Amino acid sequence: MGERPLVVTDDDAVLDEVLRIAAAAQVEVAHAPAAVARSVWRAASLVLVDAAAVPAVAAAGLPRRPQVVAVCGPDLDPVPWDACIRLGVDSTVRIGESDEALIALLADAVTAGGGEGRVVAVLGACGGAGASVFATGLAVAADVRQRRTLLADCDGWGAGLDVVLGVEDGGAFHWQDFAAPSGRLSMHDLRHALPVLPVGNRRISLLCHDRDRTGPVGPDVLDVVLRSGRRAGDLVVADLPRHSDAVVDVAVDRADLVVLVVPADVRGCYGAARMAARLDVLGCRPVLVVRGPSPGGLGADDVERAVGLPVLARMRPQPGLARDLEQGRPPGTDRRGPLARAAGTVLDRLDGRG
């Protein structure tokens, strides 16, 4: 992970304004004068240069680097464009007019998880396909690999993953508790407010709906959660509803990988084909996880041909799954079981290993 964002200025008023904006973004920044050291200049994740100091900084012969932004005070006019070009400034923002843009830049420059996060969207081809079970198994497999994971139940009309997993009393924070989205969210604070699945290293946070306040997830709120999880370096597993709405559109658009869980039967094939056509309109080509048993003898290759999408993983029936779910035990904890192996295959693809 890079160093904190750096503010380069000799003007206390400009520094105070940037610190105010950084506080709104919940980001700590470092400060250096216009005579900034080369090592400090190189190491920062983002450099905000007071536009009035750009000529002096450009004359210092510092090495070119990405993520250099000129910050203009409200009274600076004109901007020293020639010096900005010499310094390699990517963009300019004006305090008081572009505060939201500056907050977003600061937030995006910080990756508290030590790397870029990932988003996986999981959908079922038909009712009872097992998408929620697979989404949970995927989160459990990620926990085994020491990945900090948020399992997001995005279906406002389902039974609730917290009930399925036996943690309905584990936390008081739900989707409905989000205030109006501002584009930023502290994943550290959110993780501490959410129930945690009692499995493995206890890293799996669960975001569900309040049963007393029913309704769908707001697409803007979901977008904030997915972006914030990515910035924090987390894996976000989004368990999506099958019906078409703005939530599905946002999750599919943000996802690094979309998984369609298909039962190995005729009904599953027809449902998967219809779902694939809908996702194609969104510019998405999902991968298939084919779940047995197959009452009619359909194999994964048959499903692949019928749906016209690649099969990433084949999954035999999970022994004891119904009993585990009834007793509130997270599925996929058996590392040698079919669910864990299929989830591991998906994680390998996500990490570029499969």
Domains of the chain: 6-109 (3.40.50.2300), 118-350 (3.40.50.300)
> Of the ranges 45-49, 57-61, 110-114, 345-349, which one carries the lowest mean pLDDT score?
110-114
- pTM, two decimals, is 0.72
How many residues does this entry show for the chain? 354
Q: What is the Cα–Cα distance from 111 to 42, expressed in whole angstroms?
A: 17
Residues 222 and 154 sit within 8 Å (Cβ to Cβ): yes
* pLDDT tens readout for residues 294-331: 999 999 999 999 999 999 999 999 998 888 888 778 88
Mean pLDDT of 95-109: 81
pLDDT(39) > 60: yes
Q: How confident is the model at residue 170 (pLDDT cuts 50, 70, 90)?
A: low
Asked whether the predicted pLDDT for residue 114 surpasses 50, the reply is no
Instruction: Name 313's bridge partners.
Output: 289
Peptide bond into 198 cis (omega under 30): no
Judged on CB neighbours under 10 Å (0-12, 13-18, 19+), 85 is: exposed
Q: Which residues pair with 258 in a beta bridge?
A: 121
